[in-house]
Structure 1
Amino acid sequence: MSDNPIVIETRGAVEVVTLNRADALNTFDEAMTYALREYFAALPDRQDVRVVVLRADGRHFSAGLDLASWDNDRSRGALQHCWHLQRSIAGLLELMRACPQPIIGLGHGAACGAGFSLLLACDIRYGTPDLRMNAAYIKVGLGGCDLGCSYFLPRMVGASVAAEYMLTGRFMEAETALRHGLLGLITPREDLLDRALAVADEMLANAPMGLRLTKDAINRNLDARSLSDAMALEDRQQVMMLMSEDFAEGVSAFHARRVPEYRDR
């Protein structure tokens, strides 16, 4: 097994992050969890990275939590140990939602438990025909609502469908996920990265600040109390962009029928 739990490949303004524990089915051990946390925590200060593609090596995206691999020193007490483990992965998902870069998640094989939540925390999800996802927590004596699943899933597929899968731990197949809007597309694995990079190129054609603010507004307005609150956020963001040099460049390029040259100013 590689000493690097994740592999990061830079492709211009896009970074491809690959889970690299294929021999362990990309399960979450402490090293992989904290490598991902460190990566996503740094993204708000990295304007050189504008889009992130998240994928996995091996046969499966992620089989969930590698419980045995975590530090089992219980000298601080069982409660403190379990709290550290729980918050380590939960905090990773919060960092993913908070970072300004859109994240395109590419799922294949099994995505169970924490692996399922990792995909749910992405902004866009594409999958292979063999992708199978489940909230596996309830199958091992825990509650079915864990690691953001009860937040993300009802908002994406509706409360009734989400409840069915969280209460049973049943696998959701790729075609079902596509039908419910959880996946944007299904494509063979050999084409998966190319499809994601093509969408990333479309995003990169837009103003950098506009891209960041769009992700911010989408995520914040998932919890908006009213249409008025949602529009108030949109209004503020659009006024900010109206005052930017990139907006002036966008209008000029549109009228000149040329490709805009944005400078993130």
Structure 2
Amino acid sequence: MHITEQSFQTMLVDEVKPGILRVTLNRPDRYNAMTNTMFREMEQLAWAVDAEDDCRVVILTGAGKAFCSGYDLADAEDLPNLGALGMLDQQERAARALAALRSMRVPLIAAVNGAAAGGGFSLALAADIRIGSPTAKFNAAFVKIGLSAGDLGVSWLLTRLIGPANASEICFTGRMVGADEAARLGLVNRIDDDAVAGALEIAEQIVGNSPGGVQLSKRALQANLETGSYAAAIELENRGQALLTRSSDMPEALAAFKEKRAPVFRGE
């Protein structure tokens, strides 16, 4: 993939297996804390992934002991001096980055290998699937520094993922949620000794399926989280199925079934 040839200051990118891209946040000395450079590079990464037809799944993890510790507090000291519009611009810069990752056309799996705090929690929530290591832990620490847990999508995503009561407790207290509790609540899909290896196992299963089918499944699942009615959801699903029957993958799947062989999907 051409994206592996690009150079990033805040992350490492490699194709760990055909079609599977591993992105490693690479500021271990700062527990992979977010900076404006990282936000910009996240957007660039998302654009590059969408331009890669060979990319089928992205695994996101962190270097060292943490997944991501949120916005770098070394930069946060200047936030009160920005003014209302300056702070809004800063928020929108960060929000664009996470929204770009979440809206990539291929599945995003977060391999949470340690702390996912504050904005790092938001980043983990932006993934389609989360695999945690035994050292994974999560918190919405915003209230502890005088900010709202309504930050970078937490108020929308967390409530839908674990329910309003659990989300309220976690957000109002700012407490840490350990790996076992995260699995019990459904905050992570599962816990693996090696989160990246667990994510890779799921990614390989995804790669074995029709690229178009997976991409339109992601589109339908995300879009219908925001749809207000069953009828509207069905309408979106109908259009996706009609579109996919025009691709080469569905006839190939039917032929492979009849011939008792594995299908060869081309995503065309």
Q: Does 1:221 align with 2:234?
A: no
Which residue, out of 47, 53, 62, partners 2:68? 62
Q: Does 1:115 align with 2:126?
A: no
CA distance in 1, matches of 2:42, 2:264: 32
Q: Does 1:259 align with 2:259?
A: no
1:140-196 Cα deviation digits (max 9, x unpaired): 0111221100000010000111011111111111111111211111011xx322221
CA distance in 1, matches of 2:94, 2:24: 17
CA distance in 1, matches of 2:52, 2:232: 29
TM-score by length of 2: 0.92
**Structure 1 letter corresponding to 2:37:** A
- Counterpart for residue 21 of structure 2: 15
RMSD between aligned alpha carbons?
1.9
CA drift at 1:61: 1.0
Cα distance, 1:218–1:73 mapped onto 2, change above 3 Å: closer
CA distance in 1, matches of 2:97, 2:35: 13
CA distance in 2, matches of 1:263, 1:44: 16
CA drift at 1:8: 0.1
Structure 2 residues not aligned, in runs of 5+: 1-7
CA drift at 1:97: 2.1
Residues 113, 195 of structure 2: 8 Å contact kept = no
- Counterpart for residue 245 of structure 1: 248
- Counterpart for residue 149 of structure 1: 154
- Counterpart for residue 208 of structure 1: 211
SS of structure 2 residue aligned to 1:258: coil
Residues 74, 81 of structure 1: 8 Å contact kept = no
**Structure 2 letter corresponding to 1:18:** T
Aligned residue pairs, count: 260
SS of structure 2 residue aligned to 1:101: coil
1:63-91 Cα deviation digits (max 9, x unpaired): 1111434796999x533432232111111
Residues 29, 67 of structure 1: 8 Å contact kept = no
Residues 17, 53 of structure 1: 8 Å contact kept = yes
CA drift at 1:254: 1.1
Which residue, out of 33, 41, 49, partners 1:43? 49
Runs of 4+ more than 6 Å apart = none
**Structure 2 letter corresponding to 1:181:** G
Structure 1 residues not aligned, in runs of 5+: none
CA drift at 1:44: 2.3
CA distance in 2, matches of 1:91, 1:197: 27
- Counterpart for residue 196 of structure 2: 193
CA drift at 1:243: 2.0
Within 5 Å, which residues of 2 pair with 1:175-190?
A: 175-188=180-193
Residues 25, 63 of structure 1: 8 Å contact kept = yes
SS of structure 1 residue aligned to 2:87: helix
SS of structure 1 residue aligned to 2:250: helix
Residues 66, 115 of structure 2: 8 Å contact kept = yes
Residues 62, 112 of structure 1: 8 Å contact kept = yes
Which residue, out of 127, 131, 135, partners 1:130? 135
- Counterpart for residue 3 of structure 2: none
Percent identical: 35
TM-score by length of 1: 0.93
Residues 30, 69 of structure 1: 8 Å contact kept = no
Residues 42, 98 of structure 2: 8 Å contact kept = no
SS of structure 1 residue aligned to 2:251: helix
SS of structure 1 residue aligned to 2:12: strand
- Counterpart for residue 233 of structure 1: 236
